[in-house]
Amino acid sequence: MKNLNIKLGVILVISLVCIAIFAPWISPHDPNTFYLDQQLEGPHAGFWFGNDTFGRDVLSRIFYGARVSLGIGFVVVSFSMTVGVAIGVLAGWYDGIFDLFFSFISDIFLAFPGFLLAVAVAAFVGPSIFNVIFILSLMGWVSYARLARGQVLVYKEREFIRASKGLGASNRRLILKHLLPNLAGPLLVQATFGMAGVILVESTLSFLGLGVPVEIPSWGNMLDQGTQYLLIAPHLSIFPGFFIMLVVLGFNFLGDGLRDRLDPRREIYVDG
């Protein structure tokens, strides 16, 4: 079952990443070309996912929307993890006042419901891709920092760290050569689940009109536009929603499989 989760996750994630990368070459139409004689048409030859309110090809817009969602997810997770790990490692390693200050700040961030904080900030700064990245990074670094801090507090008391200290290893060498490699597994799992969460929140903000501007193809925007025509053109909501489900499932399957595979405490059963 663990291997199945990883395989399903890898297949879904790689497929969607390939769609995002090669969208300009595999899209059957320009996502912004209007076909006014085919407005709200359902799936038909040449337009396999139908047309939207302006006659634009839904399939092509979904392909380009994958670039937006996955691109935002990658940038947010990379930035959040870099900043969070740096802060968390320093807080756990040096302890003292810096650790107390970090705990105080992280508790403040965690005291606010994450999604409501994102909506509030988005409503204040306005919709744009840069603002979405800023908002989600502002929320996301805390989880990586707390994970890194907790792992450092455990590992810095281990024998191999004590031995390296006794041999005169510097703090920089201990952190870079000994601590960070041991943090890679938990951080990879956290980043995988984080991608799913970021994409879901970005789609929700775009659905509410607070995320990606409406002129840019985005799954959340498409879902929002489709709700106005659920009875006469349900394909406008069904297909973007299906792709959001696929990408979230893919990263969650991958995260579940990696968590089980990289857990050093998992039980090993030997036949006989």
At the fourth CATH level, the homologous superfamily of domain 2-29+58-262 is: MetI-like (1.10.3720.10)
Does residue 147 or residue 175 have the better pLDDT? 147
For the chain, give the percent of residues with pLDDT over 70: 96
Q: How far apart are CA 199 and CA 76, in angstroms?
A: 10
Please answer whether residues 198 and 70 qualify as being in contact, where contact means their C-beta atoms are separated by less than 8 angstroms: no
The residue ranges of every structural domain in the chain are 2-29+58-262
Residue 272 has pLDDT above 80, yes or no: no
The radius of gyration of the chain from alpha carbons, rounded to an integer in Å, stands at: 22
* Residue count of the chain: 272
Give Cβ neighbours of residue 164 (< 8 Å, ≥ 6 apart).
173, 174, 178
Backbone angles phi, psi at 158, to 5 degrees: -75, 160
What tens digit of pLDDT does each residue of 211-259 get?
A: 888 888 889 999 988 888 888 889 999 999 999 999 999 999 998 888 8
Q: How confident is the model at residue 92 (pLDDT cuts 50, 70, 90)?
A: confident
Does residue 267 or residue 44 have the better pLDDT? 44
The neighbour count for residue 98, using CB atoms within 10 Å, is 14
Residue 267 has pLDDT above 70, yes or no: no
Residue 154 is predicted with a pLDDT of 86
Say what the pTM is.
Answer: 0.88
Give Cβ neighbours of residue 54 (< 8 Å, ≥ 6 apart).
34, 36, 39
Q: How confident is the model at residue 127 (pLDDT cuts 50, 70, 90)?
A: confident
